[in-house]
Structure 1
C-alpha cells in the first residue's frame, strides 16, 4: 500500500511522528506474521521543497509527482490549536496549494485520511461537504460554524466515509494509523497495538470538557453555569430560557449551532461529567452519585454512562487506579 503523508509548514510534530512511527512499526512487525510482507510504502511529500515542523525542525519531503498515484493520503494536523492561530494558518499559500492537491487526489479516487486540525484542511477544500466527519473536540464549535454542510460528530474518534476517514484530537493520529493498519491486516494491527500500548478508541466523548466548548458563546456559557447549579433538580427548557432572559427557541437554536445538540443533551453531558468526577474521587457509592446528579437510581445513571462514554461504572472507577 503506497501511503503519501502530506507535511505542511508548521505542522504538529507529534501528529506526523506518531503516524510515521506506527506505520514503520507495522512494517517491522509484519515479519512476525507468516506470509505477510511489509504492507506500507510510506513517502513524506510536501507542496514546498522545504518544510519545517511546528517546533522548527526540518522535515525531508519529496515533491509530489503527477505520475505517481498513492493508495492513501494522510493529512497530519497543523500546530494551530486555537481559532486565532488556526484561521490565519488556513489562509497560508502552502495550505491553499495543499487543498488543490487534495482535490486532485480525490478526483483520482485516492482516499484521504486526516486527523485533528488536519480535518480543517480537508473540510476547507470542500471534500467533506454532505458527509459525516469528526475533528478535534476542542475546536468543534468553530468547525461546525465554518463548515455547516458537514455532519460533524465530535464524540466519535474515527469516521470513515467515501472520501476516506477523519480522526479526532491530537493522539487521534495514532488511532487513524492503527485503523489503516487494520485495513491491511487485523492481526498486524493487534500486534502493533500491543507493542505500542495503544488501542483504537471509538469515542472522544470521555475526553470532552463541556466548559471548554461553552466558552465560545456567551449565551451557552451562561446556560452552562445555570445548569451546573441545578444538576440535582432536573431540566426545564422554559426555566433555563427565563433565567437567561432569552426565549426557549433562541436557546435551542444557539445550542444546536454551537454544540450540535439540544439544551437537554448538553445538560446531560454536564451530569455525565459530574458523575465521572464523583466516581473517580468522592468515595460515594453509585446510588449516592445518582442522587447528586439528579437521577432516581444508580442503574439509570450506569446506563447513561455506558451510552455516552462507552464504558461502565467499574471501568470508569478503574481508570485512575
Structure 2
C-alpha cells in the first residue's frame, strides 16, 4: 500500500501541470478512498515554487521526502536539453533502490532516463518528445504511441491527460477497479484507458497541389471508404501505370496506397465509434471492412485497443454513464 507520495517539481512549474501529477490522488484522499495517504510536494532544486494565475507558491519539502516515499511522481522537466540536478537523480535512485515505485509523466520521463532508471526498459513520453528521448537515451525502449507504460517499479506516461490515466491505473492496482471507476466518474473521465492505447492516430493527408493526379485520387478515395477500392482503380483514375502511381504515392505520403487506405478506414471507424451507437459490425462495413472481425486486427494495430474497448472509453454511451 502506498502511504507516502512525493511529487517532484521544479522552479516555475505551472499549477496546471501539477493537476495531472497528483490531482487524481488528491481527489481520492478528499473522497476517503486513500485514507492516511501523505502527499508531499517536493522541490527538485533549491527555491522551487509553483506558479500560475499570478500566484507563486513555495514548495514545502526537500529531497528527504523523495528518499522516504513509497511512490515518486515527476510530472515534467523544463527542458530535454538540460540535465536535471544531480542531487535529485541520486535521491530518485535511492528511493527506487529501497523499493519505491517511480513515475515520470510527459517530459518527466527524461528525468528518470537521466537517473538511469529507464535503461533497458520500455517507456513512453509525449509523442512529440519521443524521438528526442530515444536519441538522447538509446538504452531506453521508447514506445512513442502508448498512453502509459507500467513496467512494475518504474512507470511513464504521455503528455497531459495520459498522466491522469496513469494515476487511475495506479489507484486501480492499489485499491481495486471499483475505487478507480468511482473516482473516474466523479472527475468525468473514462474509467479505464489501457496503457497500450495510442496517444493519437494521425491522418497522413499531405499538403500537395490539388491538381496533382495522385492527390485528387486521395480526396476521391476518402469519399468512397465504404466501398471496395483496389489500388489499380486509383492508378487508373490518375491515368498512371500502377508502378508509377505507387512510386508517386510513396513520394507524397511515405507509405503505400494500400497502407494509407487502411489507415483512413480505421480513422473513420474511430469517428463512428465515438459519435454513433451503430453495431461494430455495421461500423466495419461503413469503413470498407467485410465484418467486425476484419476491422479488429487493423484497429488494434493502429489504435492499440479493440473497437469495443475504444467505444467503452470514448463512445456516446460511455460518455453519458
State TM-score, norm by structure 1. Answer: 0.67
Change (3 A) 1:123 1:28: same
Aligned length: 285
Structure 1 residue 129 corresponds to structure 2 residue 130: no
Other structure's SS at 2:146 match:
coil
Instruction: Return the match for 2:142 from 152, 155, 160.
Output: 152
Give secondary structure in 1 for the equivalent of 2:192. Answer: coil
1:105 corresponds to which residue? 95
Work out whether 1:21 is the aligned partner of 2:23: yes
2:139 is the alignment partner of 1:139: no
Uncovered stretches (5+) of structure 1, i.e. residues with no partner? 32-36, 81-88, 216-224, 256-261
Which one of the candidate residues 24, 49, 53 is aligned to 1:52?
49
Give a deviation string over 1:133-177, Cα, whole Å, max 9, x none: 122233333333333322223433232114421122211222222
**CA offset digits 1:67-114 (Å, max 9, x no partner):** 952111111124x6xxxxxxxx23446555533432333333322012
CA RMSD of aligned residues (A): 4.4
| Mapping for residues 80-95 of structure 1, pairs under 5 Å | 89-92=79-82, 95=85
Q: Distance in 2 between matches of 1:67 and 1:297?
A: 52
Q: Note if 1:311 corresponds to 2:278.
A: no
Greater Rg over alpha carbons, structure: 2
Q: Deviations over 1:224-270 (max 9, x none)?
A: x899667765689x878733788xxxx7xxx9xxxxxx998777444
Displacement after TM superposition at 1:65 (Å)? 1.9
Asked if residue 76 in structure 1 is aligned to residue 75 in structure 2, the reply is: yes
Distance change in 2, residues 1:20/1:277 (3 Å): closer
Which blocks of at least 5 consecutive residues in structure 2 are unaligned? 208-214, 233-242
TM norm structure 2: 0.67
Question: Using the alignment, how far apart are the partners of 2:250 and 2:6 within structure 1?
Answer: 53
Report the counterpart of residue 9 of structure 1 in structure 2: 11
Higher relative contact order (CA 8 A, sep 6+): 1
1:63 aligns with 2:62: yes
Q: How many angstroms does 1:20 deviate by?
A: 3.2
